[in-house]
Copies of this chain bind each other. A is one copy, B any other.
Amino acid sequence: MSASSPNPKNTQRERLEAREHSILKAATEVFTAMGVDGTTMAEIARRAHIAEGTLYLYHKTKQDLLAVVVQNFWAELTQGAIEAVEVNAPVIEQLEQLATYHLTALIQQFDMVGLTYRARLRHGEPEYQLPKIREYVRIFDQIIERGIDRKELSSELPLWQCRDVLYGALEHSARTLLLREIPFDASVVEQLLVMFQPYRIDHTPKEQADPIETSTLRRLENIEAQLAILLGEKGSI
């Protein structure tokens, strides 16, 4: 690297990255606008200002390209969610922030949801989990964990049941809000937060839980842990 050129090697790499980016941009536009079947590799290439063959240097298959587009969406969503949540706020507020962000984002880019389902299909395997979705989902889990750590939430909270309810409800609500052409509705989020009420821990001192009951809980936890091992933790998101 000579002094006259601060990053000469990058010239090439940067070009490649710029291309990769323009391909992704073009693909996202076309997939979103035309749907998976309506999308042509030729059209993506045209919009990315490259030759059709070049597309295949970056993505082996139309399906692969779709998967990358979708992954990309969830990665950006993750980034946005991280920024939307104030870590120091009460967890119940954090949940509200996450839910609000999720609902808003889905409403704005609902096409990506359809693409996500199409991207999951994989050689007859029933479902192919996109890794980036898992990362996104982790944000919810982290908030709950934080809440339990801070004694704001009961450790009894059934994690994935709540998670499924939250995301499922928000996704579906986004769909119908779009249908009704309503840009956003906070009451949906409110409804959902009710779900967490039973697990909120009031810090005003109250009676200690029954010690016998407590020991029962501990035994239950042991059993559950052992079951999880037996079941191989199959299919957990």
Which residues of A are in contact with B by a Cβ distance under 8 Å? 35, 37, 114, 117, 121, 126-127, 129, 154, 156, 158, 160-162, 164-173, 175-176, 178-181, 185, 187-188, 191-192, 194-195, 197-199, 209, 211-213, 215-220, 223-224, 226-227, 229-231, 234-237
| Chain B residues whose CB sits within 8 angstroms of the CB of A216 once the complex forms | 156, 213, 216-217, 220
CB distance from A167 to the nearest CB of B (A): 6
Inter-chain contact A161/B180, CB cutoff 8 Å = no
Q: Is the interface of A mostly helix, strand, loop or mixed?
A: helix
Inter-chain contact B161/A191, CB cutoff 8 Å = yes
| Chain B residues whose CB sits within 8 angstroms of the CB of A234 once the complex forms | 180-181
Beyond A161-B191, A168-B170, A216-B216, 11 extra complex contacts between A and B, CB < 8 Å = A114-B117, A126-B178, A129-B179, A154-B212, A156-B212, A161-B188, A164-B176, A172-B172, A176-B237, A219-B220, A220-B220
| Chain B residues whose CB sits within 8 angstroms of the CB of A227 once the complex forms | 223, 226-227, 230
Report how far A195 CA is from B168 CA in the complex, Å.
15
Report how far A227 CA is from B182 CA in the complex, Å.
13
| Chain B residues whose CB sits within 8 angstroms of the CB of A230 once the complex forms | 227, 230-231
Inter-chain contact A179/B217, CB cutoff 8 Å = no
| Chain B residues whose CB sits within 8 angstroms of the CB of A198 once the complex forms | 194, 211
Inter-chain contact B171/A187, CB cutoff 8 Å = no
| Chain B residues whose CB sits within 8 angstroms of the CB of A169 once the complex forms | 164-166, 168-169, 172
Report how far A175 CA is from B126 CA in the complex, Å.
11
